[in-house]
Structures are given as structure tokens and as C-alpha cells.
Amino acid sequence: MSQLVKFLGALAFSLCASVASAQDAVLKPFVLGSKGAGDLAQKVEATKTALTKAGFTVAGSYSPYANTTIVVVTNDELKTTAAKSEYGGFGAGQRVSVVKVKDEVQVSYANPAYWANIFRMAGDLKDTAAKLQAALGRVEEFGAKGMTAAQLRKYHYAFGMEYFDEPDPLVRHASHEEAVKQVEAGLAAGKQGVTKVYRIDIPGKKEVLFGVAMKGAEKAKFMDEKYIMGQIDFKDVKSAAHLPYEILVVGDKAFAQAARFRIAASFPDLTMMGDNSFMKIMESPEAIKKALAYTAGDKD
């Protein structure tokens, strides 16, 4: 009897230790799937094929700047998990980047566990992570020193800056249908330099996620993806899977994540001052908000 008690006690301790270990695990924003010589266009097609075979649906793709292609995919787990929490729709798409750096092609993707926690989703997307690893590989996580799940769920960059549950309200319309219609029209017109990359409808909710490309002329450079990433994505392994930005229609309202949260979520280790710092894009949050608001139908 005493041996059984000891065995059960040891088992309970082991289980508790495993749970604690999982909770304390450090997560990073991105996963490098593979890197090596190759042709960019061929690697993009091979990546799409591998993702499709793994059960993902390609929602859209685009090239924000030279030598870089972003592919956004979704699946049932992403969409159903997104439907379970407030603003969870922001996590309905999975971002994959294919980038040529000198003679090397890097295939990377947003780390599902990291983003599920920072977007406060009702699950950690383990199945999606396993399918991405099987399709694209897994060399290492990268992009920051990393944070635990608990830290991610309450993350903000600094005092006075936004949390995930403080998105930018862009505009309110008469109905959900009108809100979606106005966003579609704004993206099609592209007058603010904002155009459509993909659309994902969240099941069982009046909620639609739009991925958007942002290109600004010289006077509007602070909302331009190429300019922003040229300032902050400076390391050897590229964090291009930060892109694209999103507009989320919830009911009759359109939202965007506050750029001071959205950018910091991908680049939490960037310094506030100096070279390759947030100071270099200080005007970007307001520029992004204005461009997305006008695109979503704001007339002010």
C-alpha cells in the first residue's frame, strides 16, 4: 500500500512538473522552417503546395517588396479557435514568409503558440503547429528572447502603450453587411495605398478578417510596409511573416490592432531609441491607423 501511495505521489509530482514546464516554456514570434540555396519563385510554389497537402487553404499571397513573398493560409482549427474569443479573429490566418537573402532562401512562419497566446485565443493551436512543421520544417524559433504564455497574454511593450484588448476602432457602419461592403470597396479602390491580400470569414459569428497590403508614397512613407520593415527587420534571419496587417470587422464595426501593439508583438526586443529602433518609425502607428480607417469607410 505504501509503495502505491509513493507511486501515485511521484506520478502527481511528475504531472504537475510537466504542466509547470509547459507554462514556463519560452516562446518566440517566428519559426524558421528551412533555409538554403534555391529559386524564390519555385520555393514559393513549393511552399504553397506543401501547405495545401497539409490541409491548409491558401487565403492569399503577395510580395510587399523585392525578394519577399508572404503566403497566408487558414484551416478549420484556426477558424474555429478564432471564433471562441473576443477579437480572436485576428488569429484566423497563418502567415508564412519566403525570403531571398543573398543566395539563400528562407522559409519562415508565425509561431502558432506565440500568436495564439498574444492574441488571447482559446487554445494554443497545437494541431496547426504540427502541420506547419510537417509541411515546412522547423530549424529554430527566432525573433526575440522570448516570453512565456502567461507573459504573452498580458503583453504590452511599455507603460502607456496598448494591450491586445485595446484595438483601434476604425469606423462604425449601419450593419455588419454594410461594414464588410465598405471595407471591400475601400480595399478595391486602394486610394489610401491599402489593398486586399485575403479575406477569412469567421464561422458562426458576424466577423470577417481582412489581410491588407500597405504602400505609401514619399509623403505617406510611415504607413509603407517596405519603409517600416526596412527600419526594423534588419537581422540575418528575416521576420517578414510579421506581414500583412489586418482589419477585423466585428458586427457593424471595423477594428485594427493598435500598431504600437501589433509591431511590438513581432519585434518585442527592439529598443525605443537608436538605430533600428521604434524611434525610426515613431509616426507609423498614427499613419497606419488613418490609412486603415479611411479604407474601412471613415469619412472624417
Pairwise CA distance, residues 283 & 263, whole Å: 13
Q: What is the pLDDT of residue 19?
A: 43
| 300 in any annotated domain | no
**Cell 514556463 -> residue:** 24
| 4 in any annotated domain | no
Q: What is the pLDDT of residue 217?
A: 82
Give the start-end residues of each E strand in 66-149: 68-74, 94-101, 104-110, 140-142
Cα dihedral 148, 141, 223, 286, rounded to 10, equals 10
| 9 in any annotated domain | no
| 199 in any annotated domain | yes
User: What CATH number is attached to the domain comprising 152?
Assistant: 3.30.310.70
User: 123 CB contacts (<8 Å, ≥6 apart)?
Assistant: 77, 81, 84, 116
Pairwise CA distance, residues 15 & 255, whole Å: 41
Domain span including residue 119: 27-295
| 67 in any annotated domain | yes
| 63 in any annotated domain | yes
| 39 in any annotated domain | yes
Q: What is the pLDDT of residue 20?
A: 42
Q: Which amino acid is at 298?
A: D
Integer CA distances (angstroms), 14 to 9, 11, 29, 35, 83, in order: 9, 5, 29, 37, 34
Integer CA distances (angstroms), 250 to 68, 135, 181, 210, in order: 31, 32, 13, 11
| 66 in any annotated domain | yes
Domain count, the chain: 1
Q: What is the pLDDT along the chain (300 residues), one digit of tens a residue?
A: 455 444 444 444 444 444 444 457 999 999 999 999 999 999 999 999 999 999 999 999 999 999 999 999 999 999 999 999 999 999 999 999 999 999 999 999 999 999 999 999 999 999 999 999 999 999 999 999 999 999 999 999 999 999 999 999 999 999 999 999 999 999 999 999 999 999 999 999 999 999 999 999 877 899 999 999 999 999 999 999 999 999 999 999 999 999 999 999 999 999 998 888 899 999 999 999 999 999 999 987
pTM exceeds cut of 0.85: yes
* Contact yes or no for 208/82 (Cβ under 8 A): no
Whose CA is closest to 208, among 38, 48, 93, 39? 93
Identify the sign of the CA torsion 133, 155, 211, 190: negative
